Amino acid sequence: MILQLITSFIAASTFCILFNAPVRALLQCGFAGMIGWMLYLLLDYSSDTVVATFGATVVIGLISQFFARSFKMPVIIFSVGGIIPLVPGGLAYDAMRRFVENDNNLGIQYGVQALLLSGAIAAGLVLSEVLGQMFLRIKKLPKQP
């Protein structure tokens, strides 16, 4: 578990280096990625993978919005690092592998699951954005660019 914490932190922040994120945002990126991955693992034990991905994405989105407002940087810088571990790369790989092995049924099954997971990530991001906007409206703060 500790190992997962450390590796997810490093992975999220180094991924932001690949996207040329500002140096002062790297720690926050790693933090968002770590929280998201932990939540994903915990939810994945107790319930479905799609639900776990959705839940983790919503929390990552909310954390990113918080960081974006407090550090005055675009939300995308923080959310990208957090989302990346949740992208169903492993499932897509499994699907590809089954297709190559001529096991088309299993391939399609894995492929559809990967598609559902990407949908969950998208829905989670949008929900967190809507929640953030609602929160701002309620607090009647002026919206920042």
Binding site for another protein (CB under 8 A): 3-4, 7-8, 10-11, 14-23, 25, 37, 72-74, 76-77, 79-80, 83-85, 87, 89-90, 92-94, 96-97, 99-101, 118, 121-122, 125-126, 129, 144-145
Report yes or no: 138 and 71 within 8 Å, Cβ to Cβ.
no
Q: Which two tokens stand for residue 17?
A: 């280096």
Cβ proximity to another protein, 31 vs 37, nearer residue: 37
Give CA–CA dist 97/103, Å, rounded.
Answer: 9
With residue 10 as reference, give the H or E element that holds it: helix 2-18
Cβ proximity to another protein, 19 vs 135, nearer residue: 19
Cβ proximity to another protein, 97 vs 137, nearer residue: 97
Report yes or no: 30 and 81 within 8 Å, Cβ to Cβ.
yes
